[in-house]
Chain A
Amino acid sequence: MSNSSVGQSLPRPDALGKVTGQTRFSGDLSRPGMLHMKILFADRPHARVKHVETGNAQAAPGVMAVFTARDVPVNEYGLQIPDQPVLCGPGSDKPNTDIVRCMADQIAVVVARTESEAEHAVKMIEVDYEDLPVLTDPLQAMKTDAPILHPDRGDSNICVHYKIHKGDMDAGFKSADVIVEGEYHTPVQEHAYLQPEAGLAYLDEEGRITVEAGGQWTNADQSGISHALGMPDDRVRVIYPAIGGAFGGREDLSVQIVLALAVWKLQQPVKIIWSRRESIVGHGKRHPITIRAKWGATRDGRLVAAENELIGDAGAYMYTSNKVLGNAAITSSGPYFIPNFKTDVYGVYTNQLPSAAFRGFGAPQALFMAELQMNKLAEKLGMDPAEFRLNNALQDGLTMNVGTPAPGPVSIIQCIHAARERFQWNKYRRRRTKPHIRRGRGFAAGFKNVGFSFGYQENCWAKVEIHGDGDIERVIVHHAGAEVGQGTHTVMRQVAAQVIDYPAEKIQLHTSDSATQGNPGSASASRMTFMAGNAIKGAAEAALAKWKTEERPAIAEYKYLAPRTTPFDKETGHSTPNFSYAYVAQAVEVEVDIETGQVRVLRVVSADDVGKAINPDLVVAQIEGAIVQAHGYAVVEDYRTENGRVLTDQLSTYLIPTIRDIPEKVDSVLVEVPDPNGPWGARGLGELPFLPLAPAIAAAIHDATGVWIDEIPFTPERVLRALGRIR
């Protein structure tokens, strides 16, 4: 085809605007007569709100209105279950909405003529609290005598419990020649996207409440807002302006409902921009998980049994904990065949900030354990860690731990080979530079499901229009999938261009608007290229068929339905939970300064099976970006709290990697084993390269120094403590 576009590194149409500062993010938007909003957050992690005194704030200069719990028609929201009050306080008819359960809870909003007037007035609101006992540790919170945080949702703080059970554990461990047991701790991670939460809301020309604020799923935002306002969905419209990063942190609502509430009550445009502190305290974080594991293998290097218990801190509300922990359950075996397997995964409510979706969705935590268990077993067996993985790798036809075969083709073996070769693993020689500098290499692998699934029928909508007479003059693609910076708008054009044989850069894209488009599903779970690709491909093929039968204009809508999946069986986890997986392997080299404890990552080789690289440059950008973020997770970022309060609530205390911290070299190897259901074979990629980095670095630190560190992050102090050099 002359306009072949799939497989080409076409430039991003949004790049120029972003680097020149022309692009308008939600914080850049304004409207005539616009008012400004400021939110009063809870200033303690657990308390009953007895009274909210707004009189002084209401009388303050410039103030148009102050809203509290009383003003919210249906005072609840939540992506999976509506367990969080929109505003905490007395006076709403939902039970227990007067209870603050974490510092992210909102108490009241002030709307004023200017931002500083709103800010001034919000400080004049007086809240009368009755403090309640603060639960910060999920292991305490899951005990039967712990105070219950959501009494209307049962008599336990355990909000998620999944079991996977296959085979005979006793017999399995009896046949093992070596057994490794460990306890692992993974930390909270902050998304730290460039753009803090912001939004502008107004009534559109049809009188609909319209919210322009970055998110990851237009329809979910829309129904969350309409539910809280007690309105039908079609009275609410959600539009995405440019979005400055998301990584899962924008899946849950932040400013949207209160903006919509204010517009509805005041009938005037209202805007809000969060500060960095408000952003850090105001949105969910990556789940910290405590993991106990016991794995056994035979002398000849075959896994025979693995038993895990994962206890995840869900924080104060559900958010996507049920989905995240489901993925943790699946990935807690690593991409390996284990004949006898048992995993118990718990999510527990506490008074910490809610745990939320974050790139990898539970897999980085589970794989930190699984891959370290693999490295430790390989060491005990005296086997090469890559070789040991190949021995046990999942393959086509083998059943997964949920009792059904993985959807094929399974490509973990190809990824391990690719990473090993590019790294020159077998030729590695440790270089000595200075006496206190130690070098080492580490290996790890991973896999991740594409899409939400677990019984949920994954779907994605698209519409394509072809205009012209004899020749095609105009192609319009309608799709609401969120461009969160990953480049999905580029890929959408490429897909339509390929089908219609039309230049990609000429395709007009009508982006994220819930009023004009069908459901795209979330830009998360590595699903957008797979799902939108199939949807747009379907719509473009249908439109092209109409075009060929002389229909003018040729317009077609298409809803892609992914293959059916089933949820976990309650006792055994038996299921077909997903329709597609992607696989990855990484090899790294690190340098450890045994005097200061500092860890530098010298080189990362990441071999990712993307099925088909629809835009290879964007794939490499995703790999490099994920590795930088995973490097932060593994080495730099150190989230601290004290009794439910966030200590690291600024980027000057919550440090993220800079250009000088990140791995010196990242080698991306694009493996392409097509998925029969993916568009042109594409799988999902966004989360994949994040997954094995922390355990690979841990293995390399062990290779360099001889110590295992079972807790992330590998800060200088933790390294020195492991080396026995400080207390």
Chain B
Amino acid sequence: MTLWQNYLRPKTVAEAVDALVHAPGPALPIAGGTDLLLDLKQGRHAPVHTLIDLTFIPEMTLLELRGDELFIGAAVPVNRIALDPLTGRHAQALAEACNLIAGPQVRNTATLGGNVAHALPAADGTIALTALEAQAEVAGVSGTRRMPFTSLFLGPGKSALDKSAELIVGFYLPKTGKGQASCFKRIMRPQGVALPILNCAVWLEREKDIVKDVHIAVGPGGATPFRATEAENTLHGQSFNSETLTRTLESLLGQAQFRTSARRASADYRRHIVGGLFMNVIETAWKRAE
């Protein structure tokens, strides 16, 4: 069975965008292929003519500090993100998320760009990036621009990218400073095979026992990667204790929209387990920020 007719390996972002626009269509970018090839094989994705492999573009496989930001290329495989000391230091939640995706073979090839571009509300890397307030660098015909992370998503499986002309080049994350820390955990059977039942990431900044700032993300908590803004407001500037945390969780439960997925979990189950997971994640992040 042939899944494509034409396979391109551009060497620069500009070449890749050009291929996307001009190569015989339908044309699509491919990174690790761990989502795309399965979808094509199982007939869940419309046939493609041209695949544009992003993993040979040096710019997109960098992981480095740039000023006071950490840059992670969209084509960096997630096992590298999980193991790199820079992510460990500046984006611990992301390193933890990447380390939990699938099993070792998939982690060796799956990329963060693919995890995000698929636009699923509970993808592990995506939820970590949501809490870390990443920005995406997007390339199109007229050059590159930065987009706030959550503006990338329109609905389940639907990103705001123009698929026929745009790519994610990479992600910018603020470096982690003093008193800041993050954490990611999830609930599912031990080895990932698909998406988790529930995941949660928290980034926070503490000053003694006060929460100076906090970002909370939960997946799946809505149609797009869910940022629990009301819970964040509840906790913002408060002291970190069981009473404020209980109120924070109430806000989270009030805002999140849990769904029943026929093959994975019921909404009721997700509502039940989110409390324990959230407390566990935020307490871990709090301790790390000490």
Answer whether residue A266 sits at the interface, using C-beta atoms and an 8 A cutoff.
Answer: no
The reply to whether B191 and A661 form a contact with Cβ atoms under 8 Å apart is yes
Instruction: Kindly list chain B residues whose C-beta atoms are within 8 Å of the C-beta of A126.
Output: none
Answer whether residue A19 sits at the interface, using C-beta atoms and an 8 A cutoff.
Answer: no
The reply to whether B191 and A658 form a contact with Cβ atoms under 8 Å apart is yes
Instruction: Kindly list chain A residues whose C-beta atoms are within 8 Å of the C-beta of B2.
Output: 116
8 A Cβ contacts from B186-200 to A: 187, 189-191, 193-194, 197
The reply to whether B272 and A660 form a contact with Cβ atoms under 8 Å apart is no
For the complex formed, measure the closest distance between the CB of A192 and the CB atoms of chain B, giving whole angstroms: 13
The reply to whether A655 and B193 form a contact with Cβ atoms under 8 Å apart is yes
Instruction: Kindly list chain B residues whose C-beta atoms are within 8 Å of the C-beta of A115.
Output: 1
- The size class of the interface chain A forms with chain B is 20 to 34
For the complex formed, measure the closest distance between the CB of A541 and the CB atoms of chain B, giving whole angstroms: 50
The reply to whether B42 and A277 form a contact with Cβ atoms under 8 Å apart is yes
The reply to whether A717 and B262 form a contact with Cβ atoms under 8 Å apart is no
The reply to whether B187 and A653 form a contact with Cβ atoms under 8 Å apart is no
For the complex formed, measure the closest distance between the CB of B256 and the CB atoms of chain A, giving whole angstroms: 16
Instruction: Kindly list chain B residues whose C-beta atoms are within 8 Å of the C-beta of A598.
Output: 187, 189
Answer whether residue B67 sits at the interface, using C-beta atoms and an 8 A cutoff.
Answer: no
A597 to B197, CA, bound (A): 12
Instruction: Kindly list chain B residues whose C-beta atoms are within 8 Å of the C-beta of A12.
Output: none
Answer whether residue B162 sits at the interface, using C-beta atoms and an 8 A cutoff.
Answer: no
A598 to B103, CA, bound (A): 20
A-B contact pairs, 13 of them (CB 8 A): A116-B1, A596-B273, A596-B276, A598-B189, A638-B263, A640-B262, A651-B193, A652-B38, A653-B263, A655-B193, A658-B193, A660-B190, A661-B191
The B interface, classified by DSSP as helix, strand, loop or mixed, is: loop
Pick from B197, B263, B276 the residue with the most CB of A within 10 Å: B263
The reply to whether B263 and A640 form a contact with Cβ atoms under 8 Å apart is yes
For the complex formed, measure the closest distance between the CB of B260 and the CB atoms of chain A, giving whole angstroms: 11
**With known contacts A119-B1, A640-B262, A640-B263, A655–B276 Cβ distance under 8 A:** no
A597 to B273, CA, bound (A): 9
Instruction: Kindly list chain B residues whose C-beta atoms are within 8 Å of the C-beta of A726.
Output: 266, 268-269, 272
Instruction: Kindly list chain B residues whose C-beta atoms are within 8 Å of the C-beta of A659.
Output: 191
**With known contacts A116-B2, A655-B193, A726-B268, A647–B276 Cβ distance under 8 A:** no
The reply to whether A648 and B263 form a contact with Cβ atoms under 8 Å apart is yes
Instruction: Kindly list chain B residues whose C-beta atoms are within 8 Å of the C-beta of A642.
Output: 262
* New A-B pairs, 5, CB < 8 Å, besides A640-B262, A652-B38: A638-B263, A647-B262, A653-B194, A658-B190, A726-B266
Instruction: Kindly list chain A residues whose C-beta atoms are within 8 Å of the C-beta of B272.
Output: 720, 725-726
Answer whether residue A595 sits at the interface, using C-beta atoms and an 8 A cutoff.
Answer: yes
A474 to B273, CA, bound (A): 66
The reply to whether A720 and B269 form a contact with Cβ atoms under 8 Å apart is yes
**Chain A 220-242 interface mask (CB, 8 Å, partner B; 1/0):** 00000000000000000000000
Answer whether residue B265 sits at the interface, using C-beta atoms and an 8 A cutoff.
Answer: yes
Instruction: Kindly list chain A residues whose C-beta atoms are within 8 Å of the C-beta of B191.
Output: 658-661
Answer whether residue A727 sits at the interface, using C-beta atoms and an 8 A cutoff.
Answer: yes
A368 to B13, CA, bound (A): 60
**Chain A 376-414 interface mask (CB, 8 Å, partner B; 1/0):** 000000000000000000000000000000000000000
Nearest residue, chain A, Cβ from B277: A596
The reply to whether B189 and A655 form a contact with Cβ atoms under 8 Å apart is yes
Instruction: Kindly list chain A residues whose C-beta atoms are within 8 Å of the C-beta of B263.
Output: 638, 640, 647-648, 653
For the complex formed, measure the closest distance between the CB of A414 and the CB atoms of chain B, giving whole angstroms: 35
For the complex formed, measure the closest distance between the CB of A299 and the CB atoms of chain B, giving whole angstroms: 41
Answer whether residue A650 sits at the interface, using C-beta atoms and an 8 A cutoff.
Answer: yes
The reply to whether B189 and A595 form a contact with Cβ atoms under 8 Å apart is no
Nearest residue, chain A, Cβ from B41: A275
8 A Cβ contacts from A628-674 to B: 636, 638, 640, 642, 647-648, 650-653, 655, 658-661
Answer whether residue A50 sits at the interface, using C-beta atoms and an 8 A cutoff.
Answer: no
Nearest residue, chain B, Cβ from A123: B43
Instruction: Kindly list chain A residues whose C-beta atoms are within 8 Å of the C-beta of B268.
Output: 726-727
**Chain A 697-727 interface mask (CB, 8 Å, partner B; 1/0):** 0000000000000000000110010000111
Answer whether residue A552 sits at the interface, using C-beta atoms and an 8 A cutoff.
Answer: no
Answer whether residue A430 sits at the interface, using C-beta atoms and an 8 A cutoff.
Answer: no
Nearest residue, chain B, Cβ from A656: B193
Nearest residue, chain A, Cβ from B275: A595
The reply to whether B190 and A661 form a contact with Cβ atoms under 8 Å apart is yes
For the complex formed, measure the closest distance between the CB of A397 and the CB atoms of chain B, giving whole angstroms: 47
Pick from B2, B103, B190 the residue with the most CB of A within 10 Å: B190
Nearest residue, chain A, Cβ from B279: A595
Answer whether residue A436 sits at the interface, using C-beta atoms and an 8 A cutoff.
Answer: yes
Nearest residue, chain B, Cβ from A718: B269
Instruction: Kindly list chain A residues whose C-beta atoms are within 8 Å of the C-beta of B276.
Output: 436, 595-596
Nearest residue, chain B, Cβ from A659: B191
The reply to whether B187 and A661 form a contact with Cβ atoms under 8 Å apart is no
A650 to B1, CA, bound (A): 19
Instruction: Kindly list chain A residues whose C-beta atoms are within 8 Å of the C-beta of B194.
Output: 652-653
For the complex formed, measure the closest distance between the CB of B33 and the CB atoms of chain A, giving whole angstroms: 15
8 A Cβ contacts from A592-644 to B: 595-598, 636, 638, 640, 642
Instruction: Kindly list chain A residues whose C-beta atoms are within 8 Å of the C-beta of B190.
Output: 658, 660-661
Instruction: Kindly list chain A residues whose C-beta atoms are within 8 Å of the C-beta of B1.
Output: 115-116, 119
Nearest residue, chain A, Cβ from B189: A661
For the complex formed, measure the closest distance between the CB of A400 and the CB atoms of chain B, giving whole angstroms: 40
Instruction: Kindly list chain B residues whose C-beta atoms are within 8 Å of the C-beta of A638.
Output: 263
For the complex formed, measure the closest distance between the CB of A213 and the CB atoms of chain B, giving whole angstroms: 20
8 A Cβ contacts from B233-290 to A: 262-263, 265-266, 268-269, 272-273, 276
A277 to B42, CA, bound (A): 8
For the complex formed, measure the closest distance between the CB of B250 and the CB atoms of chain A, giving whole angstroms: 18
A119 to B197, CA, bound (A): 35
Nearest residue, chain B, Cβ from A277: B42
Instruction: Kindly list chain B residues whose C-beta atoms are within 8 Å of the C-beta of A636.
Output: 189
A720 to B1, CA, bound (A): 45
Q: Which 5 A-B pairs have the closest CB atoms?
A: A660-B190, A658-B191, A660-B191, A595-B276, A653-B263
For the complex formed, measure the closest distance between the CB of A602 and the CB atoms of chain B, giving whole angstroms: 13
Nearest residue, chain B, Cβ from A649: B42
Nearest residue, chain B, Cβ from A119: B1
A636 to B190, CA, bound (A): 11
Instruction: Kindly list chain A residues whose C-beta atoms are within 8 Å of the C-beta of B262.
Output: 640, 642, 647
A725 to B193, CA, bound (A): 27
Instruction: Kindly list chain B residues whose C-beta atoms are within 8 Å of the C-beta of A436.
Output: 276
Nearest residue, chain A, Cβ from B271: A726
For the complex formed, measure the closest distance between the CB of B170 and the CB atoms of chain A, giving whole angstroms: 28
The reply to whether B265 and A658 form a contact with Cβ atoms under 8 Å apart is no
8 A Cβ contacts from A475-515 to B: none
For the complex formed, measure the closest distance between the CB of A196 and the CB atoms of chain B, giving whole angstroms: 13
Pick from A436, A596, A659, A661 the residue with the most CB of B within 10 Å: A596
8 A Cβ contacts from B148-191 to A: 187, 189-191
For the complex formed, measure the closest distance between the CB of B268 and the CB atoms of chain A, giving whole angstroms: 5
A597 to B270, CA, bound (A): 12
Instruction: Kindly list chain A residues whose C-beta atoms are within 8 Å of the C-beta of B273.
Output: 595-597
For the complex formed, measure the closest distance between the CB of A598 and the CB atoms of chain B, giving whole angstroms: 8
The reply to whether B193 and A717 form a contact with Cβ atoms under 8 Å apart is no
A648 to B264, CA, bound (A): 10
The reply to whether A596 and B187 form a contact with Cβ atoms under 8 Å apart is yes
Instruction: Kindly list chain B residues whose C-beta atoms are within 8 Å of the C-beta of A716.
Output: 197, 269
A119 to B272, CA, bound (A): 45
Nearest residue, chain A, Cβ from B266: A717
For the complex formed, measure the closest distance between the CB of A723 and the CB atoms of chain B, giving whole angstroms: 10
Instruction: Kindly list chain B residues whose C-beta atoms are within 8 Å of the C-beta of A647.
Output: 262-263
**Chain A 111-148 interface mask (CB, 8 Å, partner B; 1/0):** 00001100100000000000000000000000000000
For the complex formed, measure the closest distance between the CB of B11 and the CB atoms of chain A, giving whole angstroms: 31
Instruction: Kindly list chain A residues whose C-beta atoms are within 8 Å of the C-beta of B266.
Output: 717, 726
A436 to B273, CA, bound (A): 12
For the complex formed, measure the closest distance between the CB of A153 and the CB atoms of chain B, giving whole angstroms: 34
A725 to B268, CA, bound (A): 10
For the complex formed, measure the closest distance between the CB of B248 and the CB atoms of chain A, giving whole angstroms: 18
For the complex formed, measure the closest distance between the CB of B43 and the CB atoms of chain A, giving whole angstroms: 9
A597 to B269, CA, bound (A): 10
A655 to B265, CA, bound (A): 13
A648 to B262, CA, bound (A): 10
A726 to B271, CA, bound (A): 9
